[in-house]
């Protein structure tokens, strides 16, 4: 019996077939088909089934992650969407937080709302902060607004009323009226999508959900049909941004939860393979064709946060995007990948990314019409890649096209082609290192306390130099690194996160009401878990809350003890918050009163066959050394041995420089490094050359 994992990225769609009995897995990379993502998925599955001689009937579960919905937000390709909100709050999406993300920029581009003003209409109603009705809902105003929106061709409507988190009755009645009059319109309610305080964030999240919801329904229906046409009758699970799985109907209901599904799977995979090397503190680095992702794994678990920004005006500047209150594994995305385009800026300085050649047309060396120089073109010219075996031999790279594209850039700078290729490699590595330094520091950590685990098609190529720039001395490259995110999909448990606002002081808490509120969230979470994996499994429930000192404007999410709650738990809750506050801020203000703003529940349950234990096959017979290749490190060219990873037995030691090739990725071991093949299948690289030496070497290049 087999599991099928599908991860759609910006350049490649990764497909993994995993045998639950033997632990053997096979993988295939198919170029992503942006205009019709399901087409690339079906083509890849067919190729893999034919390659492995697998029957569709043997597949027992399918797990899927996709960038489709994220890209729809970024590229503004969602459905025609409208908003019905409380009278007087039409402009909430543009007023936002009333903060500038760049204080001194007089021409600051602000994130544009997904719904323009003519499609944001008002209904007469008003709730107080405690949910009591101040102005009853006027049905005529609701239907009038809906009629005007439908007349503009709107397919999806978000309904976000003031203080609906405290009382959903007005939103639910408005939805009933609209659905009765216009049954074809798709609806999203803020009390369903983001039932928590802060009007702008809640409305922004609900509108984003409405914007991608028709696309999600269409795509998931299409994919389900295509899988059935292939003969696959196994259940389809969707990966969530929080590192868990859900069933298709829940994904259709709140697709905004899926925005960071692929990167989340990569973090789970890194945690799993890090354990095999005895490392529980990791920086999980995934470099694909379009972007690089970095997640911090501490104590064997990726960090989950409850806020996210999409569609940033400045991709790597916090506050420049659309705020979304969804649970997601904390990570940063860096505009660097194999397809990142190199160019000179207005000052004549070499820059790499964030523009990408993506899969269409792709890097110049793909021979698919791309003309601009990219990171992959530079790596090919530096001798790091084999033009004949790229992506498992499914693609042939053109050295001539790479040389032509990089040559044009070199001529403009008065350099030769090798110097320019080395410059591209060095610049993209420093871009990633700079972003990583900031991210790790913001989490209160020093990167030197972590190992770097590299995945993705490009992670093993760039990981060692990135590590040296960060002062990290150990790099771990797992087997199947090029498709590790897809493997991570098979690790994910079913997961549900639920939140609601209560806004109560701890010293005046109605403890029975608090317990009832938590119990309600837990019942909702159990129902979704049961719908995903069946009712026979008891999920693991965790409680948390957003707490703050009275008078503060923002909260600290704090893990809480299990229930039931009564007055005897007050000291434990207070102690948990104070300990967390001092850990983050190193001190506490002279305020005694604490208040709970939001309460949170997380439920997880294992899906059938969700334990992942990839086999560590015996090394294939034959000399692992398949030849040598000239490869350039800084200013120096080396005759570098090329090794076949399949033939490397456990315990094999490798002295750098060396190139280790497998079907979906290439590992670059630099001069001065030494590596060992571990019994668990990982290759652990130990770096001895100081980071400053690498920096000097690259500056010379």
Q: pLDDT at position 316, please? A: 62
How much is the pTM? 0.83
| Residue pLDDT, tens place only, 480-490 | 888 888 888 88
Beta strands in 251-386 (DSSP E): 282-287, 292-298, 301-302, 304-305, 308-310, 322-324, 328-329, 331-334, 340-344, 350-356
Question: Over the stretch 439-475, which tens digit does the pLDDT of each residue have?
Answer: 888 777 899 999 999 998 899 999 999 999 999 999 9
Mean pLDDT (the chain) is: 89
**pLDDT tens sequence across 138-147:** 999 999 999 9
The arithmetic mean of pLDDT across residues 564-587, rounded, is 91
First to last CA, the chain: 52
Confidence band of 513 (pLDDT split at 50, 70, 90): very high
The tally of CA atoms less than 13 A away on the side-chain side of residue 230 is 26
Query: In whole angstroms, how far apart are CA 469 and each of 338, 426, 487, 665?
Result: 19, 10, 28, 22
- DSSP bridge pairs for 453: 284, 476
DSSP state of 492: P
Mean pLDDT across the stretch 301-328?
83
pLDDT at residue 693 in the model: 40
The confidence score (pLDDT) of residue 439 equals: 84
pLDDT tier at 696 (50, 70, 90 boundaries)? very low
Q: Specify the pLDDT at position 701.
A: 38
Greater confidence (348 vs 499) lies with 499
Task: Give DSSP secondary structure letters for 535-575.
Answer: TTS--EEEEEEEEEETT-SS-EEEEE--S---GGGHHHHHH
Mean pLDDT (whole number) for 570-585: 92
pLDDT of residue 490: 86
Model pLDDT, residue 256: 94
User: Is the pLDDT reported for residue 272 higher than 80?
Assistant: yes
Cα distance between residue 433 and residue 398, in whole Å: 29
Is the per-residue pLDDT at 108 higher than 70?
yes
pLDDT over 80 (residue 76): yes
Confidence of residue 608 (pLDDT cuts 50, 70, 90): low
Residue 88 pLDDT level (bands cut at 50, 70, 90): very high
Please tell me the distance from the alpha carbon of residue 244 to that of residue 680, in angstroms, as a whole number: 25
Give per-residue pLDDT as tens, 628-655.
Answer: 999 999 888 999 999 999 899 999 999 9
Helices and strands, number each (H, E), in the chain: 17, 35
Compute the average pLDDT of residues 322-348: 86
Each residue's pLDDT tens digit, 366-392: 998 999 999 999 999 999 999 988 877
Q: Which residues make Cβ contacts (< 8 Å) with residue 319, sequence separation at least 6? A: 97, 99, 101, 309
pLDDT digit string, tens, across residues 409-432: 999 888 899 999 999 999 999 989
Task: Supply the pLDDT for residue 609.
Answer: 55
pLDDT at 700: 40
pLDDT at site 308: 84
The per-residue pLDDT for range 208-266, each reduced to its tens digit, is: 999 999 999 999 999 999 999 999 999 999 999 998 999 999 999 999 999 888 788 88
Secondary structure of residue 21 in the 3-state scheme: coil
Long-range Cβ pairs for the range 89-95 (8 Å, 24+):
89/122, 89/162, 89/199, 89/203, 90/117, 90/120, 90/121, 90/122, 91/117, 91/120, 92/160, 92/199, 92/200, 92/203, 93/120, 93/200, 93/203, 93/204, 93/207, 95/200
Would you say residue 536 has pLDDT above 80? no
């Amino acid at each position: 019996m087999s599991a099928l994992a599908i991860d759609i990225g910006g350049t490649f769609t990764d497909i993994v077939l995993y045998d639950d009995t033997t632990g053997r897995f096979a993988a295939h990379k198919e170029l992503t088909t942006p205009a019709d993502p399901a087409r690339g998925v079906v083509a890849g599955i067919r190729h893999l089934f034919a390659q492995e001689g697998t029957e569709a009937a043997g597949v027992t579960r399918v797990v899927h992650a996709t960038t489709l919905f994220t890209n729809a937000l970024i590229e503004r390709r969602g459905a025609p969407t409208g908003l019905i909100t409380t009278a007087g709050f039409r402009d909430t999406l543009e007023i936002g937080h009333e903060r500038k993300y760049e204080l001194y920029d007089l021409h600051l581009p602000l994130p544009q709302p997904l719904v323009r003003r003519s499609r944001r209409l008002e209904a007469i109603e008003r709730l107080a902060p405690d949910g009591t009705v101040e102005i009853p809902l006027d049905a005529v105003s609701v239907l009038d607004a809906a009629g005007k929106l439908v007349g503009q061709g709107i397919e999806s409507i978000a309904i976000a009323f003031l203080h609906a988190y405290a009382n959903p009755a007005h939103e639910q009645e408005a939805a009933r009226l609209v659905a009765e009059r216009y049954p074809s319109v798709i609806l999203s309610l803020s009390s369903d999508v983001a039932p928590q305080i802060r009007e702008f964030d809640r409305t922004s999240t609900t509108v984003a959900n409405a914007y991608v919801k028709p696309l999600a329904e269409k795509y998931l229906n299409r994919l389900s049909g295509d899988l059935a046409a292939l003969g696959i009758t196994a259940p389809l699970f969707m990966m969530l941004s929080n590192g868990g799985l859900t069933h298709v109907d829940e994904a259709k209901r709140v697709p905004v939860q899926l925005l960071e599904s692929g990167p989340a799977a990569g973090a789970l995979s890194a945690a799993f393979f890090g354990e095999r090397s005895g490392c529980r503190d990791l920086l999980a680095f995934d470099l694909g064709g379009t972007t690089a992702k970095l997640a911090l794994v501490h104590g064997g678990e990726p960090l989950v946060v409850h806020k996210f920004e999409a569609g940033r005006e400045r991709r790597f500047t916090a506050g420049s995007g659309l705020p979304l209150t969804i649970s997601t594994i904390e990570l940063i995305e860096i505009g660097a990948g194999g397809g990142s385009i190199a160019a000179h800026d207005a000052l004549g300085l070499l820059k790499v990314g964030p523009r990408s050649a993506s899969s269409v047309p792709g890097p110049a060396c793909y021979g698919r019409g791309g003309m601009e120089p990219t990171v992959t073109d530079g790596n090919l010219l530096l001798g790091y890649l084999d033009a004949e075996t790229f992506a498992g031999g499914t693609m042939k790279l053109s050295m001539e096209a790479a040389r032509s594209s990089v040559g044009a850039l070199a001529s403009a700078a008065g350099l030769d082609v090798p110097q320019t290729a080395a410059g591209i490699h060095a610049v993209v590595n420093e871009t990633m290192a700079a972003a990583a330094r900031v991210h790790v520091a913001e989490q209160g950590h020093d990167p030197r306390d972590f190992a770097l685990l590299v995945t993705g098609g490009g992670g093993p190529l760039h990981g060692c130099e990135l590590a040296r720039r960060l002062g990290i001395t150990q790099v771990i490259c797992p087997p199947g690194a090029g498709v590790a995110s897809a493997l991570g999909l098979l690790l994910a448990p079913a997961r549900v996160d639920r939140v609601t606002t209560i806004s109560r002081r701890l010293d005046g808490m109605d403890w029975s009401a608090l317990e009832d509120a938590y119990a309600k969230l837990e019942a909702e979470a159990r129902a979704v878990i049961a719908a995903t994996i069946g009712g026979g499994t008891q999920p693991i429930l965790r409680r948390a809350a957003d707490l703050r000192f009275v008078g503060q404007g923002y909260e600290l999410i704090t893990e809480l003890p299990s229930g039931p709650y009564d007055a005897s738990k007050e000291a434990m809750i207070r102690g948990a918050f104070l300990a967390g506050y001092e850990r983050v801020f190193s001190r506490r203000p002279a305020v005694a009163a604490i208040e709970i703003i939001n309460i949170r529940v997380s439920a997880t349950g294992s899906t059938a066959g969700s334990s992942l234990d990839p086999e560590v096959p015996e090394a294939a017979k034959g000399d692992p050394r398949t030849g040598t290749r000239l490869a350039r490190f800084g200013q120096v060219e080396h005759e570098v041995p090329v090794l076949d990873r399949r033939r490397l037995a456990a315990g094999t030691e490798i002295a750098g420089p060396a190139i280790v090739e497998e079907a979906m990725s290439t590992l670059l071991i630099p001069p001065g490094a030494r590596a060992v093949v571990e019994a668990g299948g990982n290759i652990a690289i130990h770096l001895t050359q100081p980071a400053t030496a690498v920096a000097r070497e690259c500056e010379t290049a």
